[in-house]
Chains A and B, each alone.
Chain A
Amino acid sequence: QKEVEQDPGPLSVPEGAIVSLNCTYSNSAFQYFMWYRQYSRKGPELLMYTYSSGNKEDGRFTAQVDKSSKYISLFIRDSQPSDSATYLCAMSGAGGTSYGKLTFGQGTILTVHP
């Protein structure tokens, strides 16, 4: 069983929809939780990160972490065709050799159609 599980989709939604992306994990040592976006033929780019549990909002994006359930979510409001990409959740422990040693989910392919 993988440390981080993410539904690969694909997910197809109409423009303006609310998108919910989720990951579950098994390693209790994870403290930093990130969402990366990867466009076709490009490298991943950081969208949001959260330390420990809680919510974080940035424009149309909201990240939620529930450490008690080992579950993280990314919500995209008013989705746009430009949001079409693969979304990867990623996690790491705190400090030491965990720094930058990210464990990624499989990625969810999202398509937002006009």
Chain B
Amino acid sequence: DSGVTQTPKHLITATGQRVTLRCSPRSGDLSVYWYQQSLDQGLQFLIQYYNGEERAKGNILERFSAQQFPDLHSELNLSPLELGDSALYFCASSVGATSGYGELFFGEGSRLTVL
């Protein structure tokens, strides 16, 4: 168990809908990262937050948005959904965010299926 909690574990919804994925980082970790894993693209970095502030952006679509709250949990919002958004969405956390290397701890993911 990595200590990173993601909900929901599975989600089936329809195109055009909106979903919110939630992540609670490990206790003491200030950074939260969102990654998307699909069969064709592999595991791709979406966005990073550090202590409530957006720190780095990757291949995140404009239809997606995220935030990190004062209690450090994070939410990833996807709307309006398209078929191609079906994927595993992982949240990861780490202690720091600025220098050297820090291990990322991944949650078990939220599997999104868009019909």
Instruction: Tally A-B pairs: CB < 8 A.
Output: 69
Interfacial chain A residues near B55, Cβ < 8 Å: 97
Give residues of chain A (98-114) contacting chain B, Cβ–Cβ below 8 Å: 98-107
A29–chain B nearest beta-carbon distance, Å: 14
Q: Does A32 contact B (CB under 8 A)?
A: yes
Q: Are B44 and A100 in contact (CB under 8 A)?
A: no
B26–chain A nearest beta-carbon distance, Å: 12
Interfacial chain B residues near A59, Cβ < 8 Å: none
Q: Quick check: which of B12-20, B62-70, B71-79, B90-98 contacts chain A, the rest being far away?
A: B90-98
Q: Mark B29-59, 1 if CB is under 8 A from A, else 0.
A: 0010101000000111100100000011010
Q: Are A97 and B101 in contact (CB under 8 A)?
A: no
- How far is B93's CA from A46's CA once the two chains are assembled, in angstroms? 12
User: Known: A43-B4, A100-B31, A100-B94. Contact between A95 and B99, CB under 8 A?
Assistant: yes
A21–chain B nearest beta-carbon distance, Å: 15
